[in-house]
Amino acid sequence: MENKIKDQRGNIHPIAGIQNMPEQPLVIRVLAHVFSFVFHPLFIPVIATWYLAFIQPVYFTGMPSHDRLWIVIRVGYNTIFYPALTVLLLKAVGFIKSIFLKTQRERIIPYIATNFFYFWVYLVLRSQPEVPIILTSFIFGIFLASSLALIANIYFKISMHALGVGSLSGLMLIIIFSGSSYTVFLPVMIAFMITGLVCTSRMIVSDHKPFDIYSGLFFGIICQFIAYTFIVLS
């Protein structure tokens, strides 16, 4: 379906070069909203931390379950609670019109605040030798990706969802390339499937262009490799 514009005389003309995604059935749109919520970018750090702590048995070997759970909780309240609270406060004082951050301008302060919390978590985890490098580098990679997204936000509305699942996919690729002896075939396939579903969902229920999605994926993946290389070499 083409976008159209009405002139001063009331005549309707198509806008060349701009195409909307075809209207999807209600069930598809509902599922797209569900995937967008469940794999919201704020939840990605906790999902990755939980996977490394309780599903991937290599990196937290020897650490008691309650200590691993405490790490997941600490990552959670710094990367979910505080950023979400920041957005709610911005909405309450009128700095933003919607908690869904639909415009590039509304995303500036949340990006800055979220970056602060990501960097704080990175510093805390890095100071604890019992925390595996893979988790520390993942959080640092999230910080780098979010920082690049803040810069990119000046020019276009990069997809934060794609940034999040791109970071998750980057983590899985690093686990593969780092030579983990534990089989990761199924988790990798699930992560890639989630990435595809989330990105498709954003195309259905948001106003993102394909470039917004692809750039988010690229930033998310490449920043994980940059962060891991930096942490390992340092």
Q: Which domain holds residue 209?
A: 25-233
Q: What is the pLDDT of residue 181?
A: 55
Q: Is residue 176 domain-resident?
A: yes
Model confidence at 42: pLDDT above 70: yes
Q: Is residue 2 domain-resident?
A: no
Q: What is the pLDDT of residue 21?
A: 62
Q: Is residue 13 domain-resident?
A: no
pLDDT band at 24 (very low <50, low <70, confident <90, very high): confident
Q: What is the pLDDT of residue 3?
A: 47
Q: What is the mean pLDDT of residues 169-186?
A: 82
The tens digit of pLDDT for each residue in 76-109 reads 999 999 999 999 999 999 988 988 888 889 999 9
Q: Cβ neighbours of residue 178 under 8 Å, at least 6 residues apart?
A: 134, 228
pLDDT band at 115 (very low <50, low <70, confident <90, very high): very high
What pairs with residue 2 in β-bridges? 19
Residue 103 carries which DSSP code?
A: S
Q: What is the mean pLDDT of residues 113-125?
A: 96
Q: What is the pLDDT of residue 180?
A: 65
User: Which pairs count as long-range contacts for 51-55, CB under 8 Å and 24+ apart, including other chains?
Assistant: 51/187, 52/132, 52/134, 52/135, 52/138, 55/187
Q: Is residue 41 domain-resident?
A: yes
Q: Is residue 5 domain-resident?
A: no
pLDDT band at 182 (very low <50, low <70, confident <90, very high): low
Q: Is residue 1 domain-resident?
A: no
Q: Is residue 78 domain-resident?
A: yes
The structure tokens listed for 202 are 């954003």
Q: How many domains does the chain have?
A: 1
Q: Cβ neighbours of residue 56 under 8 Å, at least 6 residues apart?
A: 175, 180, 182, 184, 187
The structure tokens listed for 54 are 């309780």
Q: What is the pLDDT of residue 86?
A: 94
Residue 10 carries which DSSP code?
A: S
Q: Is residue 123 domain-resident?
A: yes
Q: Is 227 helix (H, G, I), strand (E, B) or coil?
A: helix
Give CA–CA dist 19/33, Å, rounded: 21
Q: What is the pLDDT of residue 178?
A: 81
61 vs 2: which has the higher pLDDT: 61
Q: From 220, 228, 152, select the one nearest 192 (Cα to Cα).
A: 220
The structure tokens listed for 186 are 């199924």
The share of the chain scoring above pLDDT 90, in percent, equals 70
Q: What is the pLDDT of residue 65?
A: 92
